[in-house]
Amino acid sequence: MSYFSKIIGVGSFVPKNVYTNFDLEKMMDTTDEWIQQRTGIVERRWVDDHTSTSDLAYEASLKAIENSGIKKEDIDMIIFATLSPDHDFPGTGCFLQAKLNLPGITALDIRQQCSGFLYGLSIADKFIRSGSHKNVLLVGAEVHSKGLDKTPNGRNVSVLFGDGAGAVVVSRAEVNDPKKDSHIMTTQLFADGSLAKELWLPAPGFAFPKERINEAMIKEGLHYPQMNGKAVFVHATKRMTECLQTACKEASVELNDVDLFLFHQANLRINSKVAEDLGIPENKVFNTIQRYGNTTAATIPLGMDDAVKAGVLKKGMLVASAAFGSGFTWASAVWRF
């Protein structure tokens, strides 16, 4: 028997604390004009001192489950994508599972950074297609703000990131007409580890000779994200363009057939370049980076929920997504919403 999967519920949650570019001007050697010109970001949300990644994920998950129309107890798997876990171990999916009071079900963490949600969507789709699971809660959540260098030294990276969470419920679907019925049509996953150090967090790490972190590493700032911005921009625009074309070909659809594009929100210039290179009209690309910054694994589900609330994403629409991030990893997907 052949199984298919589809997204039946979407939810999101962001902290209430808004930090504008003008707020960042007081912390770093930067300006609102500089940030907007290079990234498109106007503001972002940062958590308070007592909020964790799983706290954000919990709120988004409750909303996704409510919107799905199924009972919480019907969830039989959690996939949690994050690069900012509550703790090094165990996985944050286990902390979320406890908060949701869903003991016994599968809980899986994945660490594919900005590509995390699409990697997770592919995993959820495969588990459901295998027949082993019926309702998967897929969450992307991040608390970046607690790990950023908010001094002038961190300007180039720290202005980019915000906190937030997005979640979807992926469930077994009955598909009679593959061209019309809601279902995940294809997911495409890629990586190139030879470029891992172009965007990474060096410390703490067990690859160091004696200590995973020490005072010298902290003084050097190795516990803050490091990024080669030019390399990321060049590879992101190239790989996102390629994998979108691959996904559309695999799904037997044309780019013109796609009703809405939900790209990862790392930089508005990257998304504009991808759209320009592929001839995608601006009104078909839904961006949220202006309001939230880069929330890494949360950007696509967060944007999906905003698009639904805005009436931009409606049932029956053909959707395509692409993401690129640390690893380097990149991914794409096409689905009927």
Asked if 302 contacts 291 with a C-beta cutoff of 8 angstroms, the reply is no
With beta carbons less than 8 A apart as the criterion, state whether 164 and 302 touch. Answer: yes
- Quick: pLDDT tens for 186-235: 999 999 999 999 999 999 999 999 999 999 999 999 999 999 999 999 99
Alpha-carbon separation of residue 138 from 26, 112, 274, 277 (angstroms): 37, 14, 26, 31
Domain match, 208 and 305 both: yes
**What distance in Å separates the CA atoms of residue 122 and residue 128, rounded to the nearest whole number?**
10
Q: Do residues 131 and 23 both lie within one domain?
A: yes
Closest CA to 76 of 5, 121, 119, 128: 128
Q: Given 122, 139, 173, which residue is the final one in a domain?
A: 173
| Residue 80 DSSP SS3 | strand
Instruction: Clarify whether residues 311 and 282 are in a common domain.
Output: yes
- 232: CB partners within 8 A, 6+ apart: 198, 199, 266, 324
Residue type, 203: A
Task: Give the whole-angstrom CA distance, residue 86 versus residue 66.
Answer: 25
Q: Which domain holds residue 205?
A: 183-336
The answer to whether residue 325 is domain-embedded is yes
d(CA 78, CA 320): 23
Give catalytic residue positions.
114, 264, 294
Does 331 fall in a domain?
A: yes
Q: What is the CATH number of the domain that holds 112?
A: 3.40.47.10
Q: Which two tokens stand for residue 222?
A: 């190795």
Domain count, the chain: 2
Per-residue pLDDT reduced to its tens digit, 268-306: 999 999 999 999 999 999 999 999 999 999 999 999 999
Would 324 be classed as within a structural domain?
yes
Q: Would you place residue 159 in the very low, low, confident or very high pLDDT band (cuts 50, 70, 90)?
A: very high
Q: Are residues 144 and 240 in the same domain?
A: no
As a whole number of angstroms, the distance between CA 44 and CA 22 comes to 11
67 neighbors 11 (Cβ within 8 angstroms): yes
Residues 273 and 225 in one domain: yes
Identify whether 191 is part of a domain. yes
Beta bridge partners of 333: 187, 321
Q: Is residue 178 part of a domain?
A: no
Residue 77 shares a structural domain with residue 167: yes
pLDDT digits (tens, 9 = 90+) for 93-127: 999 999 999 999 999 999 999 999 999 999 999 99
What gap in Å lies between CA 119 and CA 114, rounded to an integer? 10
Kindly state whether residues 317 and 260 are assigned to the same domain: yes
Is the pLDDT reported for residue 1 higher than 90?
Answer: no
Check whether residue 164 and residue 188 sit in a common domain.
Answer: no
∠ CA 67-70-75, rounded to 5° = 110
| Domain stops at, among 173, 193, 224 | 173
Q: What is the pLDDT of residue 2?
A: 85
User: Do 61 and 87 reside in the same domain of the chain?
Assistant: yes
Strands 77-81 and 106-110: parallel
Are 164 and 187 within one domain?
Answer: no
> Does the pLDDT at position 248 exceed 80?
yes
> Same structural domain for residues 154 and 43?
yes
User: In the predicted model, what is the mean pLDDT of residues 161-177?
Assistant: 97
Q: Is there a domain that residue 124 lies in?
A: yes
Choose the final residue of a domain: 121, 153, 173: 173
**Which tokens go with 284?**
């078909």
Handedness of CA 261, 264, 266, 270 (dihedral sign): negative
Considering the domain boundaries, does residue 272 fall inside one? yes
Give the separation between CA 65 and CA 78, rounded to whole angstroms: 12
Say how far residue 282 (Cα) sits from the centre of its chain. 21
Taking only the tens place, the pLDDT of each residue in 7-43 is: 999 999 999 999 999 999 999 999 999 999 999 999 9
Span 163-171, mean pLDDT?
98
Q: Are residues 195 and 332 in the same domain?
A: yes
Tell me the C-alpha to C-alpha distance, in Å, between residue 172 and each of 79, 135, 181, 200, 257: 16, 7, 13, 36, 25
Is 309 contained in some domain? yes
Per-residue pLDDT of 139-157, as tens digits, reads: 999 999 999 999 999 999 9
